[in-house]
């Protein structure tokens, strides 16, 4: 049974919105071992496993990658760009951007992209398909080359569009798929300020609605609970590696569930359980004593899409206020759970 036959109905319905006519040629790429590993990685960077976040449903890194590919295909019908979108997270390790935190890259969160070319080049299944389609690794191993797939913040790309829709409608349940369909049907491709293609809204009303929804999500991605959780996971993984309990290659070969089993058998089991069952964190402007704490910023994410050649925040005060509220969120706090002490 193929992966697409196993996904939940809510994911199938969502994919049908992104591209009603699923490209058959793409399915073989999805079924390669290198891609299928991503089905065991949550898009939440590990916060799916704690009560600090009210995650409504599982959505994997593979689901996200397929969603990005479908969006790119919908707007370009170009195989190179679509595959670059599909492969953009192929080097994602277990717990996703938590490993960027481990690498000290908590503000840009791009350190885990380095192995993308190597993984694609070393996959005999992907290489066979690329040869069939007259493509090379260099055509598809860098989605930054294709502005529909990826561009600089605060522009709208397929990557940002996908995780905004799936996080909002599936993972966190802040709106439903009817909102996704409504917004998606108002999109087109325009030229940005530099003359590059960019996914844009046709009408001001829907662009404003998108900004209001995504501004709430943007704070969620770097709130106190999120920064604490991602650094805690990163530090546990780092400690287990230093203690010889895991190897760095395991991050790319084991499932998140495998790591959880290892953690639950380690000296960090009680701290992990405490974090899993926690419903709130404490914050302070002064350094707490005798407990594990986190004190650094997270990546600032926000989107101001185009509407007929103009950024929505330039023509709508409501949108600008939503962006401003997002950008002034104060991250300069020590974040801690008093009962967690043994992760240093």
- In DSSP notation, 163-190 reads HHHHIIIIIS-SS-HHHHHHHHTTEEEE
The answer to whether the bond into 154 is cis (omega within 30° of 0) is yes
Contact in structure between 238 and 263 (CB atoms under 8 Å): no
With beta carbons less than 8 A apart as the criterion, state whether 297 and 275 touch.
Answer: no
Beta bridge partners of 311: 306
**Segment 50-85, tens digit of pLDDT:** 999 999 999 999 999 999 999 999 999 999 999 999
Q: Which helix (H) or strand (E) holds 314?
A: helix 312-315
- Residue 142 binned pLDDT confidence (cut-offs 50, 70, 90): very high
Confidence check: pLDDT of 100 > 70: no
**Region at 168 (left for phi over 0; alpha for psi -120 to 50; beta for the rest):** alpha
Please give the Cα distance from 248 to 217 (Å, whole number). 31
- Angle ∠(187,62,207) on CA atoms, nearest 5: 20
- Identify the DSSP state of 278: -
- Cα separation, 60 vs 256, in Å, equals 11
User: What are the pLDDT digits (tens) for 185-225?
Assistant: 999 999 999 999 999 999 999 999 999 999 999 988 889 99
pLDDT at 110 (0 to 100): 53
Residues 6+ away with beta carbon under 8 Å from 327 = 300, 302
Is it the case that residue 103 has pLDDT exceeding 80? no
Question: Can you give the pLDDT at residue 287?
Answer: 96
Give me the torsion for CA of 141, 146, 148, 150, rounded to 10°.
60
Task: Determine the Cα–Cα distance for residues 47 and 95; give it in Å rounded to an integer.
Answer: 9
- What is the C-alpha to C-alpha distance for residues 44 and 26, in angstroms, rounded to an integer? 25
200 pairs with which residues across the strands?
Answer: 188
- The stretch 290-311 carries a mean pLDDT of 92
**pLDDT tier at 342 (50, 70, 90 boundaries)?**
confident
Q: Which residues contact 213 (CB under 8 A, 6 or more apart)?
A: 164, 168, 174, 175, 179
Rounded Cα–Cα distance for residues 77 and 69 (Å): 10
Cβ-based neighbours of 84, under 8 Å, separated by 6 or more: 72, 139, 140, 141, 142, 143, 145, 146, 149
Average pLDDT of the residues in 21-44: 97
pLDDT of residue 109: 44
pLDDT digits (tens, 9 = 90+) for 238-292: 899 889 999 888 988 999 999 999 999 999 999 999 999 999 999 999 999 999 9
Coil, strand or helix at 117: helix
Q: CB neighbours (10 Å) of residue 192?
A: 18
Residue 93: strand, helix, or coil: coil
The predicted structure's pLDDT at residue 113: 59
Q: What is the pLDDT of residue 106?
A: 41
Nearest 5 degrees, angle CA 252-CA 118-CA 60? 40
pLDDT of residue 108: 47
Query: 293 forms bridges with which residues in the sheet?
Result: 336
pTM value > 0.85 = yes
């Amino acid at each position: 049974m193929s992966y697409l036959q196993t996904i939940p109905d809510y994911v199938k319905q969502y994919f049908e919105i992104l591209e009603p006519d699923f490209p058959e040629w793409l399915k073989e790429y999805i079924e390669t071992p290198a891609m299928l590993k991503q089905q065991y990685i949550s898009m939440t960077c590990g916060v799916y496993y704690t009560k600090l976040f009210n995650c409504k449903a599982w959505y994997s890194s593979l689901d996200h990658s397929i969603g990005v590919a479908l969006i790119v295909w919908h707007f370009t019908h170009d195989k190179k760009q679509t595959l670059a979108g599909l492969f953009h997270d192929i080097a994602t390790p277990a717990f996703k951007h938590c490993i960027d935190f481990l690498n000290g890259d908590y503000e840009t969160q791009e350190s885990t992209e380095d192995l993308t070319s190597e993984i694609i080049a070393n996959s005999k299944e992907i290489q066979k398909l690329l040869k069939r389609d007259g493509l090379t690794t260099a055509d598809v191993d860098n989605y930054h080359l294709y502005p529909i797939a990826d561009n600089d913040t605060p522009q709208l790309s397929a990557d940002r569009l996908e995780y905004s829709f799936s996080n909002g409608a599936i993972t966190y349940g802040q709106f439903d798929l009817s909102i996704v369909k409504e917004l998606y049907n108002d999109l087109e491709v325009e030229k940005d300020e530099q003359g590059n293609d960019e996914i844009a809204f046709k009408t001001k009303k829907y662009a404003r609605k998108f900004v209001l929804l995504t501004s709430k999500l943007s704070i969620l991605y770097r709130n106190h609970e999120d920064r604490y959780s991602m650094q805690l996971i990163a530090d546990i993984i780092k400690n287990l590696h230093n203690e010889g309990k895991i190897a760095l290659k395991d991050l790319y070969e084991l499932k998140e569930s495998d790591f959880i089993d290892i953690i639950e058998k380690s000296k960090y089991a009680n701290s992990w359980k405490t974090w899993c069952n926690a419903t709130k964190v404490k914050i302070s402007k002064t350094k707490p004593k005798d407990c594990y704490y986190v004190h650094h910023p997270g990546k600032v994410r926000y989107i101001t899409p185009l509407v007929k050649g103009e950024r929505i925040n330039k023509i709508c005060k409501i949108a600008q206020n939503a962006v401003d509220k997002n950008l002034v969120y104060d991250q300069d706090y020590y974040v801690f759970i008093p009962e967690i002490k043994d992760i240093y």
